[in-house]
Amino acid sequence: MYLERFIGRWLAIGILAAGSFAAAQDLASFERRTTVKVLPNGLTLVLCERPEAPVFSFYTLVNAGSANDPNGASGLAHMFEHMAFKGTDQVGTTDYAAEKVALEKVETAWAAYDVEFRKRVGQDPTRLAELKKSFDEAVAKAQSFVVPNQFSQIAEQNGATGINASTGEDSTQYFWSMPSNRLELWAYLESGRIGHPVEREFYKERDVVQEERRMRSDSSPTGRMVEQFLAAAYVAHPYRVPAVGWESEISQVNATEAEAFHKKYYVPANIVVAVVGDFKTASTLPVLERYFGAIPSGPKPEEMTTVEPRQFSEKTVVIREATQPFYIEGYHRPDYRDPDDAVYDAIADLFSNGRTARLYRSLVRDQKISAEAEGIPNFPGDKFPSMFAVYAVPLPGHTPEQMRVAIHKEFDLLKSQEISDAELARYKTRAKADLLRGLGNNEGLAQQLAEYQTRFGDWRELFRQLNKVDAVTKADVKRVANKIFVEGNRTSARIEYVAPSSKPGTAAPVAGQTGGGL
């Protein structure tokens, strides 16, 4: 176990001397084996031949995430991600025609129950119970047509590994790897769930998602803190809402809303599918066109109008509870298209990367107040204006306030003195190394191709980003630091340890918020 973990960690570390690309791994080589095809329905396919072993990996990127959750239905994008494993009109059912009728009755029954449940005045408990009973009966009827988990089971039985998906603020992605002789089977499954998903077992899956929320947020000290941190930092943009959703909203969301979300955001024009591995593009592309081309088209969803307004003054969240102390702060910054994007990456690298990093050397090695301290260039996403965040984990006996003071000293240094030539060169060298290392496996490559194709409309930007990295100067770092790392642009959150109360079960965390503008 140890051995595997250790080597696994090594593979994630990138290496390359500045400027020296292997001949086989430059843009020209990828041009020869990479094909982009935009289908008539708008879906983008990116195919990259990498015949190292008879396997392939895919990465389906839907350009909609939790930031697109409708008001009052937080967690819907994530809920839909779970539902994408429930099958299609062909997979997961014993009789879709009959199931469809039964599922419509479930929605009608839920809607009736929901109206009564939400009544602020005059809710009738007897009627509510009756409506709940009708709903439960409708669910049971629909359930009788379900072949549970058949979609995943077909994939697993055919050798799929790493079957998973994730929902972030910016996008939702689906991925696995398979033996290369299952490529057509995969195309059938994947195009089916994009084009014809069925919202079966929706209300039970809601319970599963609530458990996910309890695990990640409610029962985790840092999960609770991050939720409060983001809620304080954003007043308008949906980055303020947790991707998993609020408990009350997850418990009320329904399958009709999930279908509407799918209809709006899972249109082919909003989706990029990247496939990397052992296949011939000439013979594979027609097969993929046949399956993915059959997905009904729809209008590309409109872009979000909300832009987070300028912050007026520092905001602070203090959580006092019987868990260990923690400190995080963030500063608003523009989205990834900003000309200074690589400068933020440079600062994060300088602050965080390895034992030469400034935060490590200052807070961990020299001051001995922190076990770990890191900067993150874009939190919680990067599609929309987000934050440059820094966190620090205090050593026993040290406080969040000490973390804050030490971090601010590092920001002051960045603002008052140019970084060294060696530091800048190190950032550039490592950025190239990380890129190159990422090219050596199907999974990582599929992810990168899909992401760059989505963000820039051209996967080649994966390679061209190095030009932006190379262009970063010492003056840029100082300029951006002075622009961004200012008090009025800051939000911070901390956990302050307080001794546990003697009464069991009463130590509910208490969050307080101060500041927040005019």
For residues 266 and 231, is the Cβ–Cβ distance under 8 A? no
Question: Mapping DSSP to helix (H, G, I), strand (E, B) and coil, where does residue 393 land?
Answer: strand
425 is a contact residue toward another protein (CB under 8 A) = yes
237 is a contact residue toward another protein (CB under 8 A) = no
Among 299, 498, 510, 512, binds another protein (CB under 8 A): 498
Among 34, 68, 228, 353, binds another protein (CB under 8 A): 353
Closer CB to another protein, residue 19 or residue 517? Answer: 19
- Within residues 476-495, the interface with another protein by CB under 8 A covers none
Closer CB to another protein, residue 125 or residue 397? Answer: 397
466 is a contact residue toward another protein (CB under 8 A) = no
238 is a contact residue toward another protein (CB under 8 A) = no
Closer CB to another protein, residue 323 or residue 489? Answer: 323
Q: Which residues contact 3 (CB under 8 A, 6 or more apart)?
A: none
Tokens of 23: 């001949």
User: How far is it, in rounded angstroms, from Cα 502 to Cα 72?
Assistant: 38
For residues 352 and 430, is the Cβ–Cβ distance under 8 A? no
E strand map for 360-451: 370-379, 386-394
Could you give the C-alpha distances from 351 to 308, 345, 354, 423, 435, in angstroms and in order?
26, 10, 9, 10, 20
- Within residues 263-282, the interface with another protein by CB under 8 A covers 278
Among 97, 121, 282, 422, binds another protein (CB under 8 A): 422
Closer CB to another protein, residue 148 or residue 298? Answer: 148
Could you give the C-alpha distances from 127 to 106, 140, 188, 252, in angstroms and in order?
17, 20, 45, 18
Q: Nearest approach, Cβ of 398 to another protein (angstroms)?
A: 9
Closer CB to another protein, residue 372 or residue 461? Answer: 372
Q: Nearest approach, Cβ of 413 to another protein (angstroms)?
A: 18
160 is a contact residue toward another protein (CB under 8 A) = yes
Among 92, 179, 195, 268, binds another protein (CB under 8 A): 179
- Within residues 364-403, the interface with another protein by CB under 8 A covers 364-365, 368, 371-372, 374, 376, 379-380, 389, 391, 393, 395-397, 399
- Within residues 314-333, the interface with another protein by CB under 8 A covers 321-325, 328
167 is a contact residue toward another protein (CB under 8 A) = yes
Could you give the C-alpha distances from 20 to 16, 25, 26, 433, 462, in angstroms and in order?
7, 10, 10, 10, 16
User: Is the preceding omega at residue 380 within 30 degrees of 0, hence cis?
Assistant: yes
Closer CB to another protein, residue 121 or residue 499? Answer: 499
Tokens of 10: 């090594």
DSSP lists the bridge partners of residue 206 as none
500 is a contact residue toward another protein (CB under 8 A) = yes
DSSP 146: B
For residues 381 and 233, is the Cβ–Cβ distance under 8 A? no
Q: Nearest approach, Cβ of 43 to another protein (angstroms)?
A: 20
* Span from 107-115, 155-163, 401-409, 449-457 in contact with another protein (CB under 8 A): 155-163
82 is a contact residue toward another protein (CB under 8 A) = yes
Closer CB to another protein, residue 207 or residue 412? Answer: 207
Q: Nearest approach, Cβ of 161 to another protein (angstroms)?
A: 5
244 is a contact residue toward another protein (CB under 8 A) = yes
Closer CB to another protein, residue 126 or residue 506? Answer: 506
Among 43, 58, 145, 182, binds another protein (CB under 8 A): 182
- Within residues 198-217, the interface with another protein by CB under 8 A covers 201, 204-212, 214-216
42 is a contact residue toward another protein (CB under 8 A) = no
Tokens of 222: 């840092």
Among 157, 248, 283, 305, binds another protein (CB under 8 A): 157
By CB under 8 A, how many residues form the interface with another protein?
125
Q: Nearest approach, Cβ of 207 to another protein (angstroms)?
A: 3
What are the φ and ψ backbone dihedral angles of 315, each rounded to 5 degrees?
A: -120, 145
User: How far is it, in rounded angstroms, from Cα 174 to Cα 54?
Assistant: 21
DSSP lists the bridge partners of residue 92 as none
For residues 277 and 180, is the Cβ–Cβ distance under 8 A? yes
What are the φ and ψ backbone dihedral angles of 496, each rounded to 5 degrees?
A: -105, 125
Among 31, 114, 184, 470, binds another protein (CB under 8 A): 184
Q: Nearest approach, Cβ of 435 to another protein (angstroms)?
A: 11
- Within residues 86-125, the interface with another protein by CB under 8 A covers 90-91
Q: Which of 235, 330, 317 is nearest to 514 (CA)?
A: 317
Strand order in the sheet with 490-497: 370-379, 386-394, 326-333, 490-497, 315-321, 510-515
Residue-wise burial string across 206-229, b where 16 or more C-beta atoms lie within 10 A, e elsewhere: beebbebbeebbeeebbbbbbbbb
26 is a contact residue toward another protein (CB under 8 A) = no
User: How far is it, in rounded angstroms, from Cα 455 to Cα 439?
Assistant: 19
Tokens of 238: 């949906």
* Span from 1-9, 121-129, 450-458, 478-486 in contact with another protein (CB under 8 A): 1-9
